[in-house]
A = this chain, B = another copy of it.
C-alpha cells in the first residue's frame, strides 16, 4: 500500500509533536512548543518588537506556482522583514496554520522544513503556534518577536525635509514574476526567486539602526509608491523621486526595454521586501560603505521636500511631474 499519510492519520497532537521535534533547543527559550505558552528571555534593556502577517492560499500564494518548502520559507521571510524595517533583531516566531485534514503529511513536513531553513538563516526560533482544520483555503498566520535597543529603533515617522531617500536592492522583480505567472508564462529564474523566496534585509536594517544612519524606514511590501506614502504621511514631508535612479535588476531592465509599461510594476508592484529609508546627506559615505560591505546596492532614489503634499517625480529627461499614490489594498483591489 502506497497511500500517503494524511493529517487525519496522525492528528493534531501528532503534527505538533513532529513540528516540536524539528525545532532546536536554545538557552534563551525556557519553554518551547508544548505548554500553554512559550517562555523566552529577552535582552533586558531592549524594546520588544512584534508583527503579525496573514498569508492565504489563492490571495497571497498559489501552490501550483510555488512549492511547500518555498512557502514555508517565504512565510517567515516576509514577517522577519518587518523586524528588519525597524532596525531590530528577529528572535522568535509563532505560527498558526489552517489546514484541511486531507493534506498529505509530507507536504506539511516540507512546509516546516522551509520554515526551519528560514529560521536558521535569520537565527530565529519557532516557539509556538496553533493548528486547526480549515474548511476553506490553507492559511498561515505568523507572528514575529524581535528586539531593538530603544535609541536605535527606526519608525516611519522620523524623516525630515532635505534628507535623501534610499532603497536597498532592486525593485519590481517580484511583481514582474507574478505578472508573468498570471499570464501563464514562466518567469526567468532570477525573477521567480525574488517572488517565491524573498530575503528579509535583516543585516542592513540592523546596521542602519546601530550606526544611526536612517531617520525613518519601512519595508516595501505593498509597492514603492504605496509604502513611500506611509513614510511621507507619518513624517509629514513630501518628496521628489528621481525616475532615472530606480534600481532595476538586469532581468527587469531587459523586460522593460520590450515593454515600457512595466515601469508601473517597479513603482506599484508589491512584495519587494526591500528597505526604503530616509537619511541626512552627511551619512551618504557611510551608506555607500554599508552597501560595499554587504554587497547589496543601496540607491538614492530621491529627496524629501518640506511641502507635505508634494509628490513629484522626474523622468528620464529630468522633467518633473506629479505622481499618484497607490498601493495594494486588500478589500478594494
Query: Residues of A at under 8 Å CB distance from B?
Result: 7-8, 10-13, 15, 30-31, 34-42, 44-45, 47-54, 56, 58-60, 82-83, 85-86, 88, 92, 94-99, 101, 127-137, 139, 141, 143-146, 148, 150, 153, 155-157, 218-219, 234, 329-332
Contacts and interface: CB of A to CB of B under 8 A. Distances in A.
B86 A50 contact: no
Nearest to A136: B136
Determine which residue in A83, A94, A130 has the highest number of CB atoms from chain B within 10 A of its CB, and name it: A130
Given A150-B30, A153-B30, A132 B54 contact: yes
Given A41-B48, A54-B96, A60-B132, 10 more contacts: A7-B331, A12-B329, A36-B83, A36-B156, A40-B48, A42-B48, A48-B145, A52-B129, A56-B135, A143-B143
Contacts of A97: 54
A37 to B, nearest CB: 4
Closest 6 A/B residue pairs (Cβ) = A136-B136, A141-B141, A36-B85, A37-B49, A12-B330, A36-B82
Contacts of A30: 47, 150, 153
Query: How many copies of this kind of chain does the complex include?
Result: 2
17 contacts: A7-B331, A10-B331, A13-B329, A34-B234, A35-B156, A36-B82, A39-B47, A41-B47, A44-B44, A54-B96, A54-B130, A54-B131, A59-B132, A101-B331, A130-B141, A131-B331, A136-B139
Nearest to A145: B50
Nearest to A218: B36
Contact of A128 (B40, B44, B51): B51
Contacts of A141: 52, 54, 96, 130, 141
A179 B308 CA distance: 59
A218 B60 CA distance: 36
Contacts of A329: 11-13
A173 to B, nearest CB: 21
A332 B11 contact: yes
Given A59-B133, A139-B139, A45 B48 contact: no
Contact of A52 (B15, B42, B44, B128): B128
A13 B333 CA distance: 12
B94 A50 contact: yes
Contacts of A52: 94-96, 128-130, 141, 143
A36 B86 contact: yes
Contacts of A219: 36
Contacts of A54: 96-98, 130-132, 141
Contacts of A48: 39-42, 48, 145
B50 A128 contact: yes
Contact of A38 (B37, B49, B96, B330): B49
A105 to B, nearest CB: 10
A106 to B, nearest CB: 15
